[in-house]
């Protein structure tokens, strides 16, 4: 598990985090992170849980997230995400509360 909950981390989400190929859970919620979600997050095929809530993440949800077929928990609420969620049966299965508080 890669968990940095409420640590006042700031700046952008490091692209290097996507190199953690065997990671199953990524929780970066309640920090001061800005910018977008790394475009190639979809290569993290073992991810089962992502929590990017309560930050200032902006931009669109990367289309590569549709490759995360083991994902069973997703919370991207209360950010500044825009545009539509990428089409995939996995991402479309999550409740609207996973995305509330964005500009989707």
Q: Is residue 62 part of a domain?
A: yes
Q: Is residue 57 part of a domain?
A: yes
Query: Would you call 99 helix, strand, or coil by DSSP?
Result: coil
pLDDT of residue 88: 78
Q: Is residue 38 part of a domain?
A: yes
Q: Is the pTM of this model over 0.75?
A: yes
Residues (pLDDT < 50) of the chain are 5
What rounded mean pLDDT belongs to the chain? 88
Number of domains forming the structure of the chain: 1
List, in sequence order, the alpha helices (H) in the chain: 89-92
Q: Is residue 103 part of a domain?
A: no
Find the domain containing 44 and state its range. Answer: 2-98
pLDDT of residue 4: 52
Q: Is residue 104 part of a domain?
A: no
pLDDT of residue 44: 96
CATH code for the domain of 43: 3.80.10.10
> pLDDT digit string (tens) for 73-102?
999 999 999 988 888 778 888 999 999 999
Whole-number Cα distances in Å, 31 to 67, 90, 96: 26, 26, 22
Q: Is residue 60 part of a domain?
A: yes
């Amino acid at each position: 598990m890669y968990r940095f909950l409420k640590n006042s981390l700031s700046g952008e989400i490091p692209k290097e985090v996507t190199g953690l190929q065997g990671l199953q859970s990524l929780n970066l919620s309640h920090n001061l992170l800005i910018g977008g979600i790394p475009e190639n997050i979809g290569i993290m095929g073992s991810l089962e849980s992502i929590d990017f809530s309560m930050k200032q993440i902006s931009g669109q949800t990367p289309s590569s997230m549709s490759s995360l077929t083991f994902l069973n928990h997703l919370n991207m609420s209360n950010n500044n995400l825009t545009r539509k969620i990428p089409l995939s049966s996995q991402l479309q299965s999550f409740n609207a509360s996973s995305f509330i508080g964005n500009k989707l």
